[in-house]
Amino acid sequence: MKRREELRNVAIIAHVDHGKTTLVDQMLRQSGTFRENEHVSERAMDRNDLERERGITILAKNTSINYNGNRINIVDTPGHADFGGEVERIMKMVDGVLLLVDAYEGVMPQTRFVLKKALEAKLQPIVVVNKIDKPMARPEAVIDEVLELFIDLGADDAQLEFPVVYASAVNGVAGTDPEDVTKDMSVLFDIILNHVAPPVDNSDEPLQFQVTMLDYNDYVGRIGIGRIFRGSIHVGQQAVLVKADGREKPFRVTKLFGFVGLKRNEIEEAKAGDLIAITGVEDINIGETINQAGHVDPLPLLSIDEPTMQMTFRANTSPFAGREGQHVTSRKLEERLLAELQRDVSLRVEMTDSPDAWVVSGRGELHLSILIETMRREGYELQVSKPKVIIKEVDGVLSEPYERVHIDVPGDYSGSVIESMGVRKAELQNMEQQADGHYKLEFIAPSRGLIGYRRDFLTETRGYGIMNHTFDHYRPVVNEVIGGRRQGVLVAMETGQSSAYAMGQLEDRGTMFIEPGTAVYEGMIVGEHTRENDLTVNVTKTKHQTNVRSATKDQTTTLKTPRILSLEDALSYLDDDEYCEITPENIRLRKQILNKNEREKAEKRKKVGTK
């Protein structure tokens, strides 16, 4: 079988924050891909603003490097399981994977998730133990953990014979001995060339290209990115797009792009094994196949794990609707959600009985919150309901998602964490004490018990705890309340501007979410009550003016610092009768029914209905 010996296709997979993007940076630099005088920012592959701010990779990205006359195509993938749809598709594009594992943290939930996908795709893994320069690095123990994980996931004999590279991506060094990683990354390049199979060269056969990623450009329209599995393609060629439903759409290839470093260069032709981008067909979608005209032979559609969490997205109906956003109508909102479906295969959007509401399903809170944050930055206004897990039928039984939770916590706080996880019906699977006095805890917990838990967890551990979780499996539904908010909220009774005087009077009633001078409306949530019930309060009241001088008139009101909620905090804080209002400038919590009397009537009707 003829192969393209000068080409390798690899993906970099790992748990979030184990150093994938930093490693790609160093590989690009040391391969001579950049000019010596070229300015390149750190984590150059993370080009999205949200990716840079949060330090995570959200979208998979292609690059390629040249090394000793060989071309290595590299795909940088997200480490967070909420973006697992990106990882699953990438497995179809490559012939091998670099599995990065932190030399201290070792195997984590997403390590299991991404490796499982790679092994299922029959890819050849290379294990890279990264951050070897950490003071608490434990490379030998980490390799043992990785080997156990391979066996646990059913790796075959060939996959178990994985080579190991020890590296410090941030310092740009790698080696096969953990005590000797002081030179450069040439060892890693050589191992990739020696252990990842070159693609088969069947470029003389009819074309077969599958779309695994999408992009959009105002000048050329939609761009399909993927791998040529068979044959060759050139600009001007007549081809056929085979749609997901089997329809055939003839078109002419207008442009082809290859990947070099961080650039996308226009090319005239490409052949089997190449990762390329193609334009010329407007309604191309992920998973669809492009064939040569007269030789229709589509590849199987991509299999993607189903969403596990959903929220209702609505057009903004608050009294402040339309003040801050450019796109506020339900039509604009629907167009945007449907456009997101074209790029994100893990997302689902369903219509509801209301023309102003859609049920949006995703892989987790982060997946949905990134979509919301992206939309608000694009000028959209919307309001969303409390996130809920998706219940589905498995073997005739209603089942709910469970997650594998890994927690790293100082010993002083381990007891309170185990107790609080127990309240959320989590089962402790493993408990291990580390040399530094920290405990590693592993739980299996219902997903609904984890909604909103991160804030409580950080409070319980004084910010020293680290928690990671990923979807594990479905189990029969447990018919009892799990997790949820214990405290009631402080709800504004009037529309106006909050005053320091009014807020000072309410400090003993709870914790404020707003600052003095904030515009509020009736039904808006302005704080958390100290008790379990909701309390309607007046935060706009001002001090009554008189002509009598006060001996304390020069004193100013000193208020406690309010708790300002981030988007993720706000979404996980929501209760069933509340919305989160999102605009380009503000994130507000509100009651679904704004008027106090109408809320009380609805509550009475609800109680009567449940008797």
Q: Which residues, including other chains, have CB under 8 Å from residue 489's CB and lie 6 or more apart?
A: 525, 527, 528, 529, 534, 535, 575, 578, 589
Is the residue at 275 inside a domain?
yes
Q: What is the pLDDT at residue 525?
A: 92
Check whether 20 is labelled as a binding-site residue: yes
Report the candidate in 364, 384, 246, 253 with the shortest Cα–Cα distance to residue 312.
Answer: 384
Check whether 601 is labelled as a binding-site residue: no
Check whether 176 is labelled as a binding-site residue: no
Residues 457 and 586 grouped into a single domain = no
Q: What is the pLDDT at residue 551?
A: 52
Q: Which helix (H) or strand (E) holds 455?
A: helix 453-460
Q: Round to whole Å and give the CA distance between 79 and 575.
A: 30
Q: What is the pLDDT at residue 60?
A: 45
Check whether 534 is labelled as a binding-site residue: no
Check whether 440 is labelled as a binding-site residue: no
Q: Which domain holds residue 231?
A: 208-292
Check whether 558 is labelled as a binding-site residue: no
Question: Is pLDDT of 35 > 60?
Answer: no
Q: Which residues, including other chains, have CB under 8 Å from residue 76's CB and lie 6 or more apart?
A: 11, 12, 20, 21, 24, 45, 57, 60, 61, 63
Is the residue at 374 inside a domain?
no
SS (H, E, C) 369-435: HHHHHHHHHCCECEEECCCEECCEEECCEEEEEEEEEEEEEEHHHHHHHHHHHHHCCCEEEEEEECC
Check whether 201 is labelled as a binding-site residue: no
Residues 462 and 535 grouped into a single domain = no
Residues 577 and 440 grouped into a single domain = no
Q: What is the pLDDT at residue 546?
A: 59
Check whether 73 is labelled as a binding-site residue: no
Is the residue at 270 inside a domain?
yes
**Cβ contact 16:56 at 8 Å:** yes
pTM over 0.85, yes/no:
no
Cβ neighbour number for residue 593 with a 10 Å cutoff: 16
Question: Is pLDDT of 34 > 60?
Answer: no
pLDDT digits (tens, 9 = 90+) for 291-317: 988 888 888 887 666 788 899 999 999
Dihedral sign of CA atoms 87, 88, 90, 91 in order: positive
Check whether 131 is labelled as a binding-site residue: yes
CATH at residue 216: 2.40.30.10
Query: In this predicted model, which residue has the larger pLDDT, 83 or 432?
Result: 432
290-323 b/e (C-beta count within 10 Å ≥ 16 → b):
bbbeeeeebbeebebeebbbbbbbbbbebebbee
As for how many domains the chain has, the answer is 4
Could you tell me the two tokens for 360? 């949006």
CATH at residue 525: 2.40.50.250
Check whether 183 is labelled as a binding-site residue: no
pLDDT digits (tens, 9 = 90+) for 242-296: 888 888 898 888 888 888 766 778 889 999 999 888 887 777 887 889 998 888 8
**Cβ contact 305:84 at 8 Å:** yes
pLDDT digits (tens, 9 = 90+) for 117-157: 888 888 889 999 988 888 888 889 889 989 998 998 888 88
The domain boundary, picked from 453, 476, 499, lies at 476
**Cβ contact 464:492 at 8 Å:** no
Residues 244 and 280 grouped into a single domain = yes
Question: Is pLDDT of 457 > 80?
Answer: yes
pLDDT bracket for residue 113 (50, 70, 90): confident
Mean pLDDT of the chain: 82
